[in-house]
Homo-oligomer: A and B are copies of this chain.
Amino acid sequence: MTTNERVAYFNGQIIPESQACISIRDTGFTYGNGVFDAARTFNGQIFKLTEHVNRLFHSLKYVDLDIGLSPDEVIQLTLEVTEQNLPLLGPNEDYWVFHRVSGGPNDPLAAMTSPTVVIECTPLPLKARAPLYRDGMDVAFPSVRRIPPECLSPNVKSSNYLNLTIAHNEVQEHSPGAWAVLLDTRGFICEGLGSNPFLVRNGKIYTPKGQYVLEGISRQTVIELANKLKIPVVEDDITPFDAYRADEAFITSTSLCVCPVRSFSKKPLQDEAIPGPITQKLTEAFSQLVDCDFVGQYLAQLG
């Protein structure tokens, strides 16, 4: 293909994105009946693709969707789609690589027999997020609570983000640019829209328990890096007060990897350096692992 349009895998074929068309009766569109996963490239290489695809298959099992493809086939298709799209990236840019599966065009009460499957690449919003690495993120706790595990597993990357979206919107209304991190129904710090929070205090790292959050692959990567660096990591219930008395804090997500936090509820952190020393160590270790100075990649966009 010689056009400069990106391609996507769509229900059995790799086609130009603009030709992929979701039905207005697709239960993914009508009822959010679907799951997805989101990996990213570093220098064009997809990071931990196997882990992302395995998680996708666990999610599919939870919602009883069978896509008729093996994990290996999904990996293969993902590599092909990405390969074809790489030439369209600018210098020092990278992709989000999304897998999305929905119940397909169907009645919600009928058996879900023909899922919609999409694999696509979206350029990372490097420029928009670059200031976060320079200044640190401002985190706000919305009044809306995260859906508890007894209703919908937060470990499943489902297409039902409205709980996270209304929390995000609530925060944007009063604090434009701040990041919403929801509390769970017990009032403990939980997670944001596709992001996992970490606190650092007295040399220890704290993050919410895996039962209550999407166990991000970046989150898991940071935990493993901390283990290697002999920095203790505690997965436990943490409170807003723990955030206020933290020395440092950071957020992990697929696109951000490790991004420093500057304040919680407008209270600056104890250690006002951005990033704090342990955040910096983890950032360096992460960069080394992915062989990409992702902070530099973001900051380069500041012009």
Q: Which residues of A does B touch, CB under 8 Å?
A: 8, 10, 17, 20-26, 28-34, 36, 58, 61-64, 98, 100, 102-103, 107-111, 118, 120, 122, 125, 128, 140-153, 155-156, 158-163, 165-166, 168-170, 172-175, 183, 185-188, 193-194, 209, 211, 236-242, 244-245, 265-267
Contact = CB atoms under 8 A, between A and B. Distances in A.
Given A21-B21, A162-B32, A193-B109, A143 B61 contact: no
30 contacts: A21-B21, A21-B22, A22-B22, A24-B120, A25-B122, A29-B29, A29-B159, A30-B98, A31-B161, A32-B34, A63-B162, A63-B166, A108-B168, A109-B125, A143-B143, A143-B265, A144-B150, A147-B151, A148-B186, A150-B188, A151-B163, A152-B166, A153-B240, A155-B239, A156-B241, A160-B161, A173-B267, A185-B185, A211-B237, A211-B239
B160 A163 contact: yes
Nearest to A165: B33
A279 to B, nearest CB: 20
B31 A29 contact: no
Contacts of A24: 8, 10, 17, 20, 22, 100, 118, 120
Contacts of A118: 24
Contacts of A168: 108-109
A22 to B, nearest CB: 4
Nearest to A268: B61
B165 A162 contact: no
A62 B244 contact: yes
A111 B177 CA distance: 11
A63 B125 contact: no
Given A143-B183, A193-B108, A152 B163 contact: yes
Given A162-B159, A265-B170, A143 B146 contact: no
A120 B188 CA distance: 35
Nearest to A122: B25
A161 to B, nearest CB: 4
Contacts of A162: 31-33, 63, 152, 158-160
Q: Return the 3 tightest CB-CB contacts between A and B, nearest first.
A: A150-B187, A32-B32, A31-B161
Residue in A102, A174, A266 whose Cβ sees the most chain B Cβ within 10 Å = A174
A143 B100 contact: no
A105 to B, nearest CB: 10
A172 B122 CA distance: 37
Contacts of A165: 31, 33, 63, 103, 108
A73 B256 CA distance: 41
Contact of A244 (B61, B128, B238): B61
A69 B298 CA distance: 39
